[in-house]
A and B are shown apart, each in its own frame.
Chain A
Amino acid sequence: MTPVLAVSDVHKSFGGIKAVDGVSFHVNEGEILGLIGPNGCGKSTLFNCILGQLVPSSGEVKVDGRITTGMRPCDINRLGVSRTFQLLQVFPKLSVRENLILAGQEHRGNMLSRLFGASDAGVGAEADKLIAFFKLDHLAHEQAGGLSYGQQKLLDAAMAFIAGPRLVLLDEPAGGVNLTMLGDLKDRLFAVNRELGVTLVVIEHNMEFVMSLCSRVVVMAEGRVLAVGAPDEVRANPAVIEAYLGH
């Protein structure tokens, strides 16, 4: 079976700094893959290379067997790959519902139908469903900028799911989210994975969160892949322990 995402030998340097230094891994259909590693090891840069925010210096990224290196982020997104960012990235002056409609509208119809057709581009019902799914009902018409941090995180995640993606890359979804909401978030991520069959790749520093969520974990250090395996295997790997705890 073709993997949903295949990354082969991706390099990215900024001047003399090798942020990503020959990373290869793949993501199978339906799995939840964790991507962990110390700060500055190149996880987010790798995400940006996969999704077109950055162009890799060399190497290749394939989505469903199709080469996507060099494509624009909006075109990669329309192939059914979406993401969240490490820092909050909602549209503060739009309402929660408008944020979600925006996240879905470009996947429906064409430029003309989006100009002359319905104001919600036909994704209003979908937006309402996701608002309920992520338990944001009471906030649907509030400006996104007025929500609490945790609520914005949920909205941010919801936006990645509205267009019915096959693959979602989440950059630190649990960062700064309190314990109760963390449970909610994990529960929602399991649900989209099982019920909607969405494949997930998650960058996260919260070990407990990653280990309980993911079926497989890729560990990065200094721009390279250090280890790949099931959570328990990885946790017991001496190289991983050293990378995290230092000498």
Chain B
Amino acid sequence: MSATFKWLRIVLGVAIVAALILVPMTLNRYGLYILSQWCVMTIAAMGLNLTLGYAGQISLAQGAFVGIGAYSGAILVTSGYPLILALVVAILLCFAIGWLLGYPALRVQHHYLAFVTLAFSTLAFLLFRNEEWLTNGIYGISNITRPEIFGYRTNRPLPFYYVCLGSLAIVSLAVWWLIRSPWGRAFQALRENPVRALSLGVDTRHYTLMAFAIGSALGGIAGVLYAPLTQYVDPIPFGLTLSLDLLLMVIVGGAGFFFGPFVGAAIAVLLPEWLRFTEGYYLMLYALAVILLLIYSPTGILGIADRILTERRTKAASAMRAAAQSKLEQPNLEQSKLETVR
């Protein structure tokens, strides 16, 4: 990779981060709500990207984990406990349940695994709706206050947006670390060739369970943020639709790419807003755009970027080879040059 390209990436990265911090200052309440939602959905999609994109284990239950996180947040906060405690509870709870949900993946894969996780998703939804003593059923839980952080109240939209953005930053760093660690490599090995991985000493059982547990825990974190963002939690948003939406975000953004969920969540959350002027047609246009994208690039939006970069690299490599070849063919010329230098 050339130095200029590396610089370009750094500049682009800094510009995006600066924009995410500065631009929202000019946005109204609704714009901030949408952007905060993007942060939350990105965290949830990053979890699914870990399970599905990196470790190759399909899950249609990520929405359920967001629900578990949201209810943990709603119940504990309305009972007077701080949000940070709800965060710890949600992480532990989702980690443990995700771990258990990983066990079927040790026996079944692909479509069969999808069905197992789908069943879990439905089960979770029924719990949210029917266990009124805990979740208040279809009436939901309202008046979820936003947290106070270091004595600073975040109940206004802008400060709470920064809470979401900060959480996203922390989660991103943690996931980045995980992916470039030997664990991340083992996750990818699980996706690419589990039999070979096992023969190389990779404990595929441990890593499969961990991929589910960690991915689910990230869903829980997203849920804990969701509760004070909407300040009202009911069962409806955590049905199968959310799991499918999150799956769509991962696939459209680019499964197995670190920035895939960022792009995917941006499209899923922002595009409907931008297409609002088309009124009744926006869902149709949205669906059409997704279909066309996946026909053109089954590996998602970042898959397109990856393809372009790979092509460039291959071209550069073959140019280098050609140069080396032509040097070999003119040894006398090189020799005479060396002589004159001496």
Contacts and interface: CB of A to CB of B under 8 A. Distances in A.
B181 A106 contact: no
A194 interface: no
Main secondary structure of the interface of B (DSSP, over half): helix
Contacts of B201: 74, 77-78, 106-107, 163
Given A74-B202, A106-B200, A94 B195 contact: no
A78 B201 CA distance: 6
A162 to B, nearest CB: 9
A103 interface: yes
B188 A94 contact: yes
Most buried by B among A53, A74, A83, A98: A74
A115 B178 contact: yes
Interface string A98-138: 10011101110001001111011100000000000000000
B200 A115 contact: no
A53 to B, nearest CB: 7
Given A91-B193, A92-B192, A98-B185, A119 B198 contact: no
Given A53-B195, A89-B195, A91-B193, A77 B200 contact: yes
Contact of B192 (A73, A94, A106, A163): A94
A119 B200 contact: no
Given A91-B188, A116-B181, A83 B199 contact: yes
A72 interface: yes
Contact of A105 (B180, B185, B204): B185
B186 interface: yes
Given A115-B178, A119-B180, A163-B201, A85 B188 contact: no
Nearest to B178: A115
27 contacts: A51-B199, A53-B195, A72-B203, A73-B199, A74-B198, A74-B200, A74-B201, A74-B204, A77-B201, A82-B199, A83-B199, A85-B195, A89-B196, A90-B196, A91-B192, A91-B196, A94-B185, A94-B189, A102-B182, A102-B185, A102-B197, A102-B202, A106-B202, A114-B181, A116-B181, A119-B181, A121-B182
